[in-house]
């Protein structure tokens, strides 16, 4: 790395008018990264598997709902909303992407989030403040929509805090990248672990305490399953824990994701990403029987405990560093390779004595990271209820693989499903290879497979697609 890499980045951040705390946080990230002391391996011998996590469905049956309602009345809801969805070719807040229609109305992530909060407020008569952590690129568009509803105008509680930004770094030298064609692409957010220093610098914790808020529920805006929950608020309050992570049971499709373990040395919870797994431990780490839970990235934290921890570290928690390698223009792989230095929110669990987990059902984990996920969300597998719940029969979804050449970006995806995505109710898996455009009322069933024809192809209205491709019209 260039010896002057941080100095150049620091000067750039000062010139941009960024705060001392954001520069201090970036210093921690940069120095850890440049020393090579990041993303260290967490060996299997160093951890214990997380076992016997209490299930929220069982907790609900014995919960004192009056106590739970009291805890819920002292809870605020914070949504991580800094993402642009560049992996899907979006150039605006991902939360403004249309998920599906409801009563002829286009429903975006944001519409559903607002509806979930209003439903909880109305049914349970709780204040439930809603706050977004926006990035410099999502704030304007998001707040324009939010403030159209007078029930979400800021009065005593802010409706947003702004995530920090930092320079993207040239992969080879560690110096800040220059991209004169689009200077805004020279910057990036420091990952969702930045939530803690952003909260600290914004003064939000003091505001929450002044309004009698004791608990903070934080989740991703692209996870529509992470709804406000009176039962979870009650369980968190009753547990006495300072920090609680919602986990779900791993399936075979979750084997390669991050999972929660217990540090043998400290006894604390530890978020272990697969990049931190030694090759010799890979089989054990990927075993869904040995390590049965994964992190949903939804957390509950006590306001006073978080305030005390941030005071201890002067606003910058010492979280593990994630090196995220991309191109300076994420939509153009031919542009310069860069490094983005990030941290993960869930990794803060290791800093809190007494941090716990709670096992939630799959219905609370419905993320949309790719157009494969969007394909399922827009299908007949889901029904959006009047209380803004994304409802499915069993929340066990077909494995979907769409050809990235033609379906990765949302504009290409929409072009190929002009009448909406096909029916998935009878599908076990879906594999689409090549360039296929779909007519109306197409049904996919069993292990549906379309092979690449080498040319643009069309599925006529009302056709059935199965393991052999498009079914013939005549009986054999």
**For residue range 355-403, what is the model confidence (pLDDT) as tens digits?**
999 999 999 999 999 999 999 999 999 999 999 999 998 898 999 999 9
Least confident of 15-24, 145-154, 377-386, 424-433: 145-154
Measured in whole angstroms, the distance separating CA 87 from the mean position of its chain's CA atoms is: 13
- With 60 as the cut, is the pLDDT of residue 37 above it? yes
Read off the pLDDT of residues 238-257 as tens digits, 9 standing for 90 and up.
999 999 999 999 988 787 77
Q: Residue 3 pLDDT more than 70? A: no
CB distance 160 to 140 below 8 Å: no
Instruction: Express each pLDDT in 300-342 by its tens digit.
Output: 999 999 999 999 999 999 998 988 899 999 878 899 999 999 9
Cβ pair 88, 330 in contact under 8 A: no
Residues in the chain: 476
What was the pLDDT predicted at 42?
87
449-474: per-residue pLDDT in tens?
A: 999 999 999 999 999 999 999 998 66
Give the Cβ contact number of residue 98 at 10 Å: 15
Q: What pLDDT sits at residue 1?
A: 59
Task: Identify the helix (H) or strand (E) that includes residue 178.
Answer: none
> Confidence band (pLDDT; 50, 70, 90) for 113?
very high
* pLDDT at 368 (0 to 100): 94
382-403 b/e (C-beta count within 10 Å ≥ 16 → b): bebeeebbbebeebebbebebb
Residue 70 near residue 306, CB atoms below 8 Å: no
Q: Look over the chain and give the mean of its residue pLDDT values, rounded to a whole number.
A: 93
Question: Could you report the per-residue pLDDT of 216-227, keeping only the tens digit for each?
Answer: 999 999 999 999
**Residue 48 pLDDT greater than 60, yes or no:** yes
Distance of CA 95 to the CA centre of its chain: 11
| Catalytic residue, candidates 12, 369, 408, 428 | 369
How confident is the model at residue 256, as a pLDDT? 76
Q: What is the pLDDT of residue 379?
A: 96
Structure-token pair, residue 191: 């990952």
Question: What pLDDT score was predicted for residue 86?
Answer: 79
Which pLDDT does position 260 carry in this prediction?
92
Confidence grade of residue 415 (pLDDT, cut at 50, 70, 90): very high
Q: Is 72 exposed, middle or buried (0-12, 13-18, 19+ CB in 10 A)?
A: buried
- Residue 300 bridge partners (DSSP): 217, 244
Report pLDDT for 474.
Answer: 66
pLDDT higher than 60, residue 476: no
Q: Which of 198-212, 213-227, 255-269, 439-453 has the lowest mean pLDDT?
A: 255-269
Task: Identify the band that residue 38 occupies on the pLDDT scale cut at 50, 70 and 90.
Answer: low
Percent of residues, the chain, with pLDDT higher than 70: 98
For the chain, the first-to-last Cα distance in angstroms comes to 67
Q: How far apart are CA 441 and CA 270, in angstroms?
A: 47
Confidence of residue 274 (pLDDT cuts 50, 70, 90): confident
- C-alpha dihedral over 465, 466, 472, 476, to 10 degrees? -160
Burial of 153 (0-12, 13-18, 19+ CB in 10 A): exposed
* 140, pLDDT greater than 90: yes
Please check the confidence at residue 122 and state whether its pLDDT lies above 70: yes
For residue 226, what pLDDT is reported?
97
**∠ Cα 156 160 162 (to 5°):** 135
Assess whether 428 carries a catalytic annotation.
no
Sole residue written with tokens 């979280």: 319
Torsion of CA 413, 416, 420, 423, to 10 degrees: -100
pLDDT band per the 50, 70, 90 thresholds, residue 276: confident
Chain mean position to CA 56? 21
Query: What's the pLDDT at 254?
Result: 80
What predicted TM-score, i.e. pTM, was given to this entire model?
A: 0.94
């Amino acid at each position: 790395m260039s010896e002057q890499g941080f100095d150049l980045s620091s000067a750039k951040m000062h010139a941009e008018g960024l705060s001392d705390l954001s520069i201090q946080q970036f210093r921690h990230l940069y120095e850890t990264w440049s020393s090579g002391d990041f993303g260290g391996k967490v060996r299997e011998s160093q951890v214990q598997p997380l076992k016997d996590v209490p299930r929220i469905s069982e907790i609900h049956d014995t919960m004192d709902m009056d106590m739970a309602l009291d805890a819920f009345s002292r809870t605020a809801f914070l949504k991580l909303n800094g993402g642009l969805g560049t992996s899907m070719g979006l150039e605006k807040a991902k939360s403004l992407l249309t998920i599906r229609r409801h009563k002829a109305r286009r429903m975006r992530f944001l519409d559903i989030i607002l509806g979930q909060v209003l439903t909880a407020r109305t049914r349970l008569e709780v204040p439930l403040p809603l706050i977004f952590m926006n990035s410099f690129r999502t704030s304007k568009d998001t707040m324009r929509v939010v403030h159209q509803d007078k029930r979400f105008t800021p009065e005593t509680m802010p409706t947003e805090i702004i995530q920090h930004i930092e320079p993207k770094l040239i992969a080879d030298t560690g110096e800040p990248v220059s991209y004169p064609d689009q200077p805004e692409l020279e910057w990036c957010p420091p990952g969702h672990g930045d939530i803690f220093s952003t909260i600290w610098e914004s003064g939000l914790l003091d505001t929450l305490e002044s309004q009698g808020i004791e608990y903070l529920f934080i989740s991703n805006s692209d996870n529509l399953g992470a709804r406000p929950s009176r039962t979870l608020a009650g369980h968190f309050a009753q547990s006495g824990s300072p920090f609680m992570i919602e986990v779900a049971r791993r399936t075979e499709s979750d084997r390669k994701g991050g999972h929660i373990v217990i540090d043998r040395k400290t006894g604390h919870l530890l978020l272990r990403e697969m990049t931190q797994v030694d090759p010799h431990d890979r089989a054990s780490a990927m075993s869904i029987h040995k390590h049965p839970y994964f992190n949903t990235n939804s957390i509950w934290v006590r306001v006073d405990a978080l305030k005390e921890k941030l005071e201890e570290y002067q606003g910058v928690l010492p979280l593990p560093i994630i090196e995220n390698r991309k191109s300076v223009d994420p939509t153009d792989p031919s542009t310069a390779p860069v490094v983005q230095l990030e941290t993960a929110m869930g990794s803060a669990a290791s800093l809190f004595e007494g941090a716990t987990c709670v096992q939630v059902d799959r219905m609370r984990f419905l993320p949309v990271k790719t157009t494969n996920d969007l394909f399922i969300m827009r299908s007949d597998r889901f029904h959006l209820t009047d209380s803004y719940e994304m409802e499915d029969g069993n929340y066990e979804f077909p494995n979907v693989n769409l050809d990235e050449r033609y379906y990765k970006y949302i504009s290409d995806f929409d072009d190929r499903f002009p009448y909406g995505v096909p029916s998935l109710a009878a599908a076990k898996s879906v594999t689409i290879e090549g360039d296929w455009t779909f007519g109306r009322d197409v049904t996919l069933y069993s292990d549906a497979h379309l092979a690449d024809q080498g040319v643009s192809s069309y599925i006529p209205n009302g056709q059935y697609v199965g393991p052999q491709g498009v079914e013939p019209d005549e009986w054999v």
